[in-house]
Amino acid sequence: MKKSRQWLLTVLGIAILLYTCKVTQYPVQRDATGRILVNPHPDPAPMSPQESLKHMYLPKGYHLQLVASEPMVSEPVAIVWDGNGVMYVAEMLTYMVNVDGTGEGAKLCTIKRLEDTNGDGVMDKATIFIDSLVLPRMMLTVGHRLLVSETNSNNIYSYEDTNGDGRADVKKLVYKNETIDNKNLEHQKSGLMWNLDNRIYVTVDQVRYTYNFKANKLTPDSLREPPGGQWGLTNDNYGRLFFSQAGSETPALNFQQNPSYGRFDFKDQYNEAFQAVWPIIATPDVQGGLLRLRADSTLNHFTACAGQSIYRGDKLPADASGDLFIPEPVGRLIRRAKVINTDGKITLVNAYDKQEFLASSDMNFRPVNTVTGPDGCMYIVDMYHGIIQESNWTRTGSYLRPQILRKGLEKNIGRGRIYRLVHDGFKPDKARPRMLDETSAQLVTYLSHPNGWWRDNAQKELVLRDDQSVVPALKTMAVSSPNQLARIHALWTLNGLNALDIETFARALKDNDPQVRKTAVWIGEDLMKTHTEVVDQLAALKDDPSPDVRFQLSLSMRYNPSEKAQAVISYLLSHNPNNEVLVQSNRVYQANLEAKAEIARTERLMREADRKLVTQGALIFKQLCATCHGMDGKGVTIGGTGMTAPILAGAKDVNGNPDKLIRILLLGLSGPIDGKKYPDVMPPLGGNDDEYIASALSYIRNDFGNKAPTVKPADVKRVRDELAGRTKGWTMAELDSIKPKPLPGRRN
């Protein structure tokens, strides 16, 4: 035990030395413009944290500092802080420990509690806060509690340390849903993020939550459609959410409007050049294979985009504030995107020309998450893991498997690093947050803090406490603070406390700042439920000079069925025919309404059993299949790129004999389809039961203009039995060579 402790202290000593010393980077070759030339033969062997830092390349003035590494942390994937600045780290210890991904479901994962006890910026105390978890994927601190959701589960639990030993000793179920999540690990939800509007958002699933602190319960609020996204969710200072979707190789999506109003993207919200990524080493381990590699063997396109964040701190240069940082772990890089608002339409542009903000020549550098910390810096979670794709894409016969084995990447397990991004002149503040021990009146002052982490957590804690004594101070701040963001947070805090009066609301609607007025319009959705006069107050902004306010007004009136509310929308559309975001958002909404009505008409003509299959299939498709095939079955084409999966709408095979589709879903599909190559493979879904497969296929055969009979669970069972013993996926050529068998009594 003494030797182990001495070793740990030695490691920490090296880390502290690194923190105070300048890192000398590994020499690289550059072209005439100063751009780093690609290393075609990088060393796949794992490096120490100190050596790995020498292989990180950032713009002038930026540096990385090591905050924690193995053995203190292992396989980290996400971090959060509580109101007192204690860091919690989710560790996926069983993730891809070999090329087959065996044992991932074992209850061996942990969440660590890390502390910096002397204020030097390096974590020096670690405790296993929770053990025996299955790949923990979502965390949220609420007061002294930590909310956690695990992989394969829809339940959410609250954990608390009540005796001060650093380990959770109280576990309570705060959201119950016993349905097992059978989706592939990469396709399950993440997030659990408390947003500006006091709602808690996740990716993938058609739900958001509100939290009742006194009852220690999460209340679900069903969205009208799934929000999309996969691993990673972030927000900006005004509550705008940004999702990403690795399955469709989409680095950012669904950021034009809040997902409560439905999914909505522009094809040109970034261009094809934005989709291109610029690693500085060869990246052979990409599941898209040669289609996703340049001639120099570097990744040519986003694939594993994940863990994005808007920088909202106060310790990096001001021009970084509001920028979107997108990790790409396959490319060993992090993209920095400028977020541009043009008349309410948001577009993204790479901050650098054919270069990345951060690029590493360490093959095991795997940035999977980024987040703004209490100190105002940005933190980077490096899983530092050899394999970064799930086993569905590393099976025998896949493109990836031999690449992984050739480089020996499967041997790198059990490591991980957490870095702090700083800039020249940064001096750490040794004062730790103490929000959980401070009065509510003290928390109110933090709503004007220049670091978004402080504002967010102060608002969250105030709402959780439900302390009405601060309402007068909040009202004063909401209408008279010189700080725009303080006014916005004060309004949302009042709304979260159910203490926003009509007078304060009316003054906010007339604020000189358009973002404050937009906030008030958004909040008006809640007030309309109890105050009939609010519709008229909101209608007065129909000619607001800000396109952001007018767009939000159209959204906030969307689900209000009153004639007045709908008249406001009609007015906005007729008087703003050239406002692209307002017009197109409404057009997509109306098209979705018509599509749902058509589905409802079709379902009414079906037998009950068929209707159930199609209804279940709609949910499966929207949560999983739409990632690559698109919500309308016409593919995902954001950024002007080629589609990652075939079009399902009107497809011959979709409307023909279902056996081919059943075979594809059971065992997966790779290779060209109708002469067209796609960068990804269709993973097998055969681990799900027959009804699941039948439901998914019944839906796609009865939507997107398709009109084919439903698929019965018995059909799936029959084909599954025929394929007993086969594990290899299909090619379309092989499937086309199989003569379909007639289905008795049914149209083929």
pLDDT at 234 over 90: yes
pLDDT at 17 over 80: no
Side-chain-facing half-sphere of 428: CA atoms under 13 Å: 18
Q: Does domain 606-736 match CATH 1.10.10.10?
A: no
pLDDT at 606 over 50: yes
pLDDT at 554 over 50: yes
User: Residue 635 has what pLDDT?
Assistant: 80
Mean pLDDT of 603-632: 85
pLDDT at 71 over 90: yes
User: Residue 61 has what pLDDT?
Assistant: 96
Q: What is the tens place of the pLDDT at every residue in 416-470?
A: 999 999 999 888 777 889 999 999 999 999 999 999 999 999 999 999 999 999 9
Q: Report helix, strand or coil for 567.
A: helix
- Rounded CA-CA distance 128/645 in Å is 42
pLDDT at 1 over 90: no
**Which residue intervals of the chain bear CATH 1.10.760.10?**
606-736
pLDDT at 679 over 90: no
Residue found under tokens 């296993």: 128
Give percent above pLDDT 90 in the chain: 74
Q: What is the tens place of the pLDDT at every residue in 197-229?
A: 999 999 999 999 999 988 999 999 999 999 999
| CATH topology for the 501-594 domain | Leucine-rich Repeat Variant (1.25.10)
Mean pLDDT of 152-171: 97
Mean pLDDT of 400-428: 95
Structure tokens at 467: 């302390």
Mean pLDDT of 120-146: 97
- Rounded CA-CA distance 524/552 in Å is 10
Structure tokens at 563: 């004639």
Domain spanning 2-26+51-423 has what CATH number?
Answer: 2.120.10.30
User: Residue 424 has what pLDDT?
Assistant: 95
- Rounded CA-CA distance 19/420 in Å is 10
Mean pLDDT of 158-167: 97
pLDDT at 591 over 60: yes
Q: Which of 20-29, 202-211, 467-476, 713-722 bottoms out in mean pLDDT, i.e. has the lowest?
A: 20-29
Give percent above pLDDT 70 in the chain: 96
Kindly indicate the confidence band of residue 704, based on its pLDDT and cuts at 50, 70 and 90. Answer: confident
Kindly indicate the confidence band of residue 641, based on its pLDDT and cuts at 50, 70 and 90. Answer: low
pLDDT at 12 over 50: no
User: Residue 457 has what pLDDT?
Assistant: 98
User: Residue 637 has what pLDDT?
Assistant: 76
- Rounded CA-CA distance 265/263 in Å is 7
State the amino acid at position 714 in one-letter form: A
According to DSSP, the residues that pair with 241 across neighbouring strands are: 235
Between 495 and 650, whose confidence is greater?
495
User: Residue 747 has what pLDDT?
Assistant: 45
* Mean pLDDT score across all residues of the chain: 92
Region for 705 from its dihedrals, namely left if φ exceeds 0, alpha if ψ lies in -120 to 50, beta otherwise: left
User: Residue 281 has what pLDDT?
Assistant: 97
pLDDT at 125 over 60: yes
Determine the straight-line distance between the first and last CA of the chain, rounded to whole angstroms: 70
Between 345 and 291, whose confidence is greater?
345
Kindly indicate the confidence band of residue 16, based on its pLDDT and cuts at 50, 70 and 90. Answer: very low
User: Residue 7 has what pLDDT?
Assistant: 45
pLDDT at 9 over 50: no
| CA 335-340-345 angle, 5° bins | 120
What pTM was estimated for this model as a whole? Answer: 0.93
- Rounded CA-CA distance 717/699 in Å is 18
Q: What is the tens place of the pLDDT at every residue in 356-365?
A: 999 999 999 9
Q: Is there a contact between 141 and 114 (Cβ–Cβ < 8 Å)?
A: no
Report the b/e string of 267-294 with b at 16+ CB within 10 A: eebbbeebbbbbbbbbbbbbbbbeebbb
User: Residue 476 has what pLDDT?
Assistant: 98
Kindly indicate the confidence band of residue 22, based on its pLDDT and cuts at 50, 70 and 90. Answer: low
Count Cβ atoms below 10 Å from residue 332 Cβ, excluding itself. Answer: 29
pLDDT at 8 over 70: no
Mean pLDDT of 254-274: 96
Between 652 and 536, whose confidence is greater?
536
**Which residue intervals of the chain bear CATH 1.25.10?**
501-594
Residue found under tokens 């709602």: 199
Bridging pattern class, strands 367-372 and 378-382:
antiparallel
- Rounded CA-CA distance 403/400 in Å is 5
**Which residue intervals of the chain bear CATH 2.120.10.30?**
2-26+51-423
